[in-house]
Chains A and B, each alone.
Chain A
Amino acid sequence: MTGGTELIETVAAPMADAVPERVRRGRGWGPRIWIPLVVVAFYVLAAIFGPMIVTFDPVATDTANRLLPPLSHRDDGSLVLFGTDQVGQDLLAQTMQGARVSMLVGVATLLLAGFIGVVVGVVSGYFGRWADAVLMRVADIQLTFPGILLAILIAAVIGQSVLNVVLILAISGWVTFARVTRGQVLATKNREYVDATRTLGASNWHIIRTCILPACTAPILVIATLDIGSVILAEAALSFLGLGTPASTPSWGVTIANGRNLLSSAWWVSTIPGICLAILVVSFGILGDALRDRFDPKMKGI
């Protein structure tokens, strides 16, 4: 059958109103991909270079310039773009420091969760049998546990530090990676080319490395993009509760919590880092959606 008949078959089936959408999504790097990418790149730059330009010192105080609103000037005439907090700390510096902490935690968490998840998924999917049964039941149990509660429980027990936050969030986040990897492994492992490699006498490790893992890359990247927003949100929530990053390395959540008591006198202390956080998470959300639609429309439910 030629492309022509396939086309008319698709069209003649009562789904033609989906056609314009499919065409609009197309193959190219549409605005749904590059706009959030530009935003994320801006954040990355601000996180890397921002704190070098506007230095943040967690213990510095400047009581003469406390609670200055955004766009006002310090008594030495310098502009404070985002305002200052109750001890005179510049919020711009604090926000860029927060970007650094939040994104670092996000990326580190995903790397760790992704690593655990991929290992579990491959073992579970490739070797199957009791390993699969045990690991997937563990995943089931963990899914019934609201992630934030597990994180709070662990945080309450092991205490506050950036490393602990990463550990906690990774422990609550590996299941998605494991499930997706396992599904992909199951779909791949009995394909003809894998069988062919096997008959040539390749070791399991060789097959996993050359045949299985490459097939998992795209869905894992999509999951990571979709997940990083929620990881950053979870980190902010933990920090807001005082269970996340310590005050010496304040993330956005810490700053927002700090501004909570100043709501009626200095709205900007909570609001501005919140807006920064929201814009970043929204960008990751749009990017993840676009990547998912582009790489694998079947993953809608995840």
Chain B
Amino acid sequence: MRLAERPTGTAAPGTRTGPLLRVQDLSVSFATGSGRLRAVDGVSFDVGAGETVAVLGESGSGKSVTAQTVMGLLPRPAGRIDGGSVSFDGVDLLDRPDSYTRALCGTDIAMIFQDPLSSLNPVFRVGTQIGETLRRRRGVSRRKAREHAIEMMHRVGIPAPEKRVDDYPHQFSGGMRQRVMIAMALSMNPRLVIADEPTTALDVTVQAQIMSLLADLQREEGMALVLITHDLGVVADVADRAILMYAGRVVETGPIREVYDHGAHPYSVGLMGSLPTGDQDRLTPITGAPPDLRQLPTGCSFHPRCAFATDRCRTEEPVLRPAPDRPQAHLTACHHAEEVLADGIR
């Protein structure tokens, strides 16, 4: 059963020009016991229809908060949007009431969470949970919703879905649970899927399977896919573009091979360096600890951990600019991009 119809009020795919998702200058802060902290600070990026984008960064870099903001899942009242816009299909979601975003969720935008065990309701059958969106949003009968759930389970590669549709989440293995989660997210044919660390909670052997399943489904469905992860290795072969975040800001962005091979920000180079490349000399993990968001360093937030840091980095905050002598789409926020690139070639 394929669902072609769209909720009223949203345009059919492709009728508008411009990117599917456009995040512009987004800033989000949180109230904590010791004052407000800025979790996302002036972040901008686009995701085109059918594109796969990887958002990379350590924990605390703001990537998950960005996703929560897009989905309207920001915890209130602690979380607050301080500025910027999130446009889906040309409509600014932050301008509209929460109910507008909620109506897009599940049907046009779907999310896959990190831990499939805690993200699935333990007291409902998986079939009920997969078919629920269809049943509640389209008024489809229980029986039809169950059939749809079986079909979705089949598509995400769960063996014997007719038998397993009435099982509960705790009866599945981690990898199978994440497949259930994916089936649930894709059940309404969304145009954008945000996967927040979809493989982090899984066994290493299962991670690759889930990632290739996502890639296959993305190709078949033509949906846009945002992969949020701290692990570049997981997404390198899947994503078209990479967005690197550090301390709530975008520090580098560009086509994934470009960023991978010609990192123009020391943080990205460090992240790549954490990957075993076969070339032992380059395996240099990033030193130091992620920053304390309540007390960010002045200038470039990365400077305390950076080998290239100069006095300029300690005082002047770098802005995104084209990476020198690289393709136009490659942007970096580093004062010393030239040296970083030169160092990479050597």
- Give the nearest-CB partner of A16 in chain B: B78
Q: Which residues of B contact A200 (CB under 8 A)?
A: none
The interface-forming segment of B26-34, B133-141, B233-241 is B26-34
B171 at interface (Cβ–Cβ under 8 A)?
no
Q: How far is the CB of A61 from chain B (nearest CB, A)?
A: 63
| Interface hits, A7-34 → B, CB 8 Å | 7-9, 11-12, 14-17, 19-20, 22-23
Contacts known (A12-B64, A23-B33); A4 close to B75, Cβ less than 8 A = no
A5 at interface (Cβ–Cβ under 8 A)?
yes
- Give the nearest-CB partner of A13 in chain B: B75
A19 x B64 contact (CB < 8 A): no
A4 x B31 contact (CB < 8 A): no
B78 x A11 contact (CB < 8 A): yes
Q: Which residues of B contact A1 (CB under 8 A)?
A: 59, 289-290
Partner of B294, one of A7, A9, A14: A7
Q: Which residues of B contact A12 (CB under 8 A)?
A: 30, 39, 60, 64-65, 68
A2 x B32 contact (CB < 8 A): no
Q: Which residues of A contact B60 (CB under 8 A)?
A: 4-5, 8-9, 12
B79 at interface (Cβ–Cβ under 8 A)?
yes
Bound complex: CA A15 to CA B31 (Å)? 12
Partner of B68, one of A14, A17, A23: A14
A20 x B78 contact (CB < 8 A): yes
A3 at interface (Cβ–Cβ under 8 A)?
yes
Contacts known (A12-B68, A14-B75, A15-B75); A7 close to B293, Cβ less than 8 A = yes
Contacts known (A12-B39, A16-B75); A5 close to B33, Cβ less than 8 A = no
Contacts known (A5-B60, A11-B30, A23-B33); A16 close to B293, Cβ less than 8 A = no
Give the contact-size bracket for chain A.
10 to 19
Give the contact-size bracket for chain B.
20 to 34
Contacts known (A5-B59, A5-B290); A22 close to B75, Cβ less than 8 A = no
Contacts known (A1-B290, A22-B33); A9 close to B78, Cβ less than 8 A = no
Bound complex: CA A9 to CA B292 (Å)? 11
Partner of A3, one of B31, B65, B76, B292: B292
Bound complex: CA A19 to CA B31 (Å)? 8
Contacts known (A16-B31, A19-B32); A4 close to B291, Cβ less than 8 A = yes
Q: How far is the CB of A220 from chain B (nearest CB, A)?
A: 30
- Give the nearest-CB partner of A10 in chain B: B32
- Give the nearest-CB partner of B288 in chain A: A2
Contacts known (A5-B60, A12-B39); A19 close to B289, Cβ less than 8 A = no
Q: Which residues of B contact A23 (CB under 8 A)?
A: 33
Q: Which residues of A contact B292 (CB under 8 A)?
A: 2-5, 7
- Give the nearest-CB partner of A4 in chain B: B292
Q: How far is the CB of B101 from chain A (nearest CB, A)?
A: 15
B77 at interface (Cβ–Cβ under 8 A)?
yes
B37 at interface (Cβ–Cβ under 8 A)?
yes
| Interface hits, B58-80 → A, CB 8 Å | 58-60, 64-65, 68, 73, 75-79
A17 x B289 contact (CB < 8 A): no
Bound complex: CA A142 to CA B34 (Å)? 48
Bound complex: CA A12 to CA B30 (Å)? 8
Bound complex: CA A8 to CA B40 (Å)? 11
Bound complex: CA A7 to CA B295 (Å)? 12
Q: Which residues of A contact B65 (CB under 8 A)?
A: 12
Bound complex: CA A298 to CA B73 (Å)? 27
Q: How far is the CB of B289 from chain A (nearest CB, A)?
A: 5
Contact indicator per residue, chain B 278-303, by CB within 8 Å of chain A (1) or not (0) = 00000000000111111100000000
Q: Which of B33, B76, B293, B294 has the largest count of A CB atoms less than 10 A from its CB?
A: B33
Contact indicator per residue, chain A 205-246, by CB within 8 Å of chain B (1) or not (0) = 000000000000000000000000000000000000000000
Q: How far is the CB of A65 from chain B (nearest CB, A)?
A: 60
Q: Which residues of A contact B289 (CB under 8 A)?
A: 1-2, 4-5
Q: Which residues of A contact B294 (CB under 8 A)?
A: 4, 7
B33 x A16 contact (CB < 8 A): no
- Give the nearest-CB partner of A3 in chain B: B292
Q: How far is the CB of B274 from chain A (nearest CB, A)?
A: 16
| Interface hits, B166-205 → A, CB 8 Å | none
Q: How far is the CB of A281 from chain B (nearest CB, A)?
A: 33
Bound complex: CA A5 to CA B230 (Å)? 14
Q: Which residues of A contact B68 (CB under 8 A)?
A: 12, 14
B59 x A17 contact (CB < 8 A): no
Q: How far is the CB of A15 from chain B (nearest CB, A)?
A: 7
| Interface hits, B39-56 → A, CB 8 Å | 39
Q: How far is the CB of B328 from chain A (nearest CB, A)?
A: 33
Q: Which of A5, A7, A8, A14 has the largest count of B CB atoms less than 10 A from its CB?
A: A8
4 closest Cβ pairs, A-B complex: A4-B292, A16-B78, A16-B75, A23-B33
